[in-house]
């Protein structure tokens, strides 16, 4: 157990005096926030330097993720440690106070400096995100307004699309005017009809109906001069390829969503760990700074005179 701190010239703390030195806490928080900003900017610069816009060049995504986690830990440890040390070193002396209470107060000062710096950083980040979201909402409102004013032109453009894939009712319109055999139409019109049939089928249960298959085969036979059987075989082959491509795209989207969810979860976990490390090192550094603060000795007139005589100067009275 640490012995009670004794100061020859220190002013004794009254029993009802607050044990919180807010000036030291805010000074430590400012130091922590400033160093954290510097280290974050440095980490961002190193990250941009390690990446490359070209494929198979620069650091991989896994390497960047691991380095980001390590740099976040280093930033929290260094910035929080500096803030805690400053808060402990600058706090008011507690004369005639038990050593255990001094330990607790120093630890509390370091923790409070870390908490203030963290809250300030969170407010700044929240404000930045709020500005970004507000700008996005304004842009979205402008887009919606423009889309509403030009709804008639957009509908006309969709109807006049050569492939017609952007018109959700195009398939049903084609079915409404479908005859026993396809009429002689241009290549763009035939491609549009085929695109609408494939899109409608893939968006549904993925099963090509007999009527749609037969009609597509007739279109293919008309445009390619194949027999009906050969056209049906080509339709089945192409539709199988399109269905496989759609399944691959769906699987890739699911994998991307799973990867994004996993990355978000690990980011939250490691951010939590980094913040805990910051709180611990801030408290530890404040304890160290407080002990150095308590070891400082007041210089009385005799000490000043001895130092002045040793330096060969006249002491100031």
Instruction: State the DSSP string of 107-149.
Output: HHHHHHHHHHHHHHHHHHHHHHHHHHHHHHHHHHHHHHHHHHH
Stretch 19-24: mean pLDDT: 86
Mean pLDDT on 30-42: 90
Closest by CA to 29, choosing from 121, 92, 154, is 121
Helix, strand, coil percentages for the chain (3-state, nearest 5): 75, 0, 25
For the chain, what percent of residues have pLDDT higher than 90?
A: 19
Say whether 259 sits in a helix, a strand or coil.
Answer: helix
Q: What's the mean per-residue pLDDT of the chain?
A: 75
What pLDDT is recorded for position 183? Answer: 63
> Could you tell me which residue, 170 or 241, shows the higher pLDDT?
241
Identify whether the C-beta of residue 281 lies closer than 8 Å to the C-beta of residue 88: no
Of 294, 285, 296, the closest CA to residue 85 belongs to 285
pLDDT, tens digit (0-9, with 9 covering 90-100), for 201-224: 888 777 788 888 888 887 888 777
* Cα within 13 Å of Cα(152), Cβ side: 1
Which of 272, 249, 260 is CA-nearest to residue 202?
Answer: 249
- Indicate the SS3 state at residue 156: helix
- Residue 12 backbone dihedrals phi, psi, to 5 degrees: -70, 140
**What's the confidence (pLDDT) of residue 60?**
78
90 contacts 112 by C-beta, under 8 angstroms: no
Cβ-based neighbours of 49, under 8 Å, separated by 6 or more? none
Provide the whole-model pTM.
Answer: 0.62
pLDDT tens, residue by residue, 241-298: 888 888 888 899 999 889 888 888 888 899 899 999 999 999 999 999 988 888 877 6
pLDDT at 27: 94
Q: What is the pLDDT of residue 163?
A: 43
Delimit the domains of the chain by residue range.
22-131+264-299, 159-253
Q: Where are the beta strands (DSSP E) in 148-291?
A: none
Does position 78 have pLDDT exceeding 70, yes or no?
yes
pLDDT of residue 227: 85
Instruction: List, for residues 111-148, the tens digit of each pLDDT value.
Output: 999 999 999 888 877 765 555 445 555 655 554 455 44
């Amino acid at each position: 157990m640490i012995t009670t701190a004794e100061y020859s010239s220190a002013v004794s703390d009254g029993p009802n005096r607050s044990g919180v030195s807010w000036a030291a806490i805010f000074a430590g928080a400012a130091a922590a926030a400033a160093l954290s900003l510097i280290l974050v900017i440095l980490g961002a610069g190193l990250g941009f330097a390690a990446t490359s816009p070209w494929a198979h060049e620069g650091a991989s995504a896994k390497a960047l993720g691991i380095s980001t986690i390590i740099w976040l830990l280093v930033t929290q440890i260094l910035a929080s440690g500096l803030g805690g040390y400053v808060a402990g070193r600058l706090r008011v002396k507690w004369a005639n106070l038990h050593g255990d209470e001094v330990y607790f107060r120093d630890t509390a000062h370091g923790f409070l400096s870390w908490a203030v710096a963290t809250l300030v950083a969170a407010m700044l980040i929240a404000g930045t995100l709020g500005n970004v979201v507000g700008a996005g909402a304004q842009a979205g409102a402008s887009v919606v307004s423009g889309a509403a004013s030009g709804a008639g032109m957009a509908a006309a453009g969709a109807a006049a699309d050569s492939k017609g894939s952007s018109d959700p009712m195009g398939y049903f319109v084609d079915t409404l005017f479908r005859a026993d055999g396809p009429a002689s139409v241009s290549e763009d019109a035939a491609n549009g009809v085929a695109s609408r049939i494939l899109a409608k089928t893939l968006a549904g249960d993925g099963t090509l109906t007999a009527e749609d298959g037969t009609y597509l085969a007739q279109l293919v036979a008309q445009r390619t001069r194949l027999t009906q059987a050969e056209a049906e075989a080509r339709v089945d082959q192409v539709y199988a390829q399109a269905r496989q491509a759609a399944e691959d795209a769906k699987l890739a989207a699911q994998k991307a969503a799973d990867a994004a969810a996993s990355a978000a979860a690990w980011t939250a976990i490691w951010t939590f760990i980094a913040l805990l490390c910051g709180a611990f090192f801030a408290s530890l550094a404040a304890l160290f700074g407080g002990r150095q603060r308590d070891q400082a000795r007041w210089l009385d007139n005799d000490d000043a005179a001895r130092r002045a005589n040793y330096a060969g100067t006249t002491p100031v009275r």
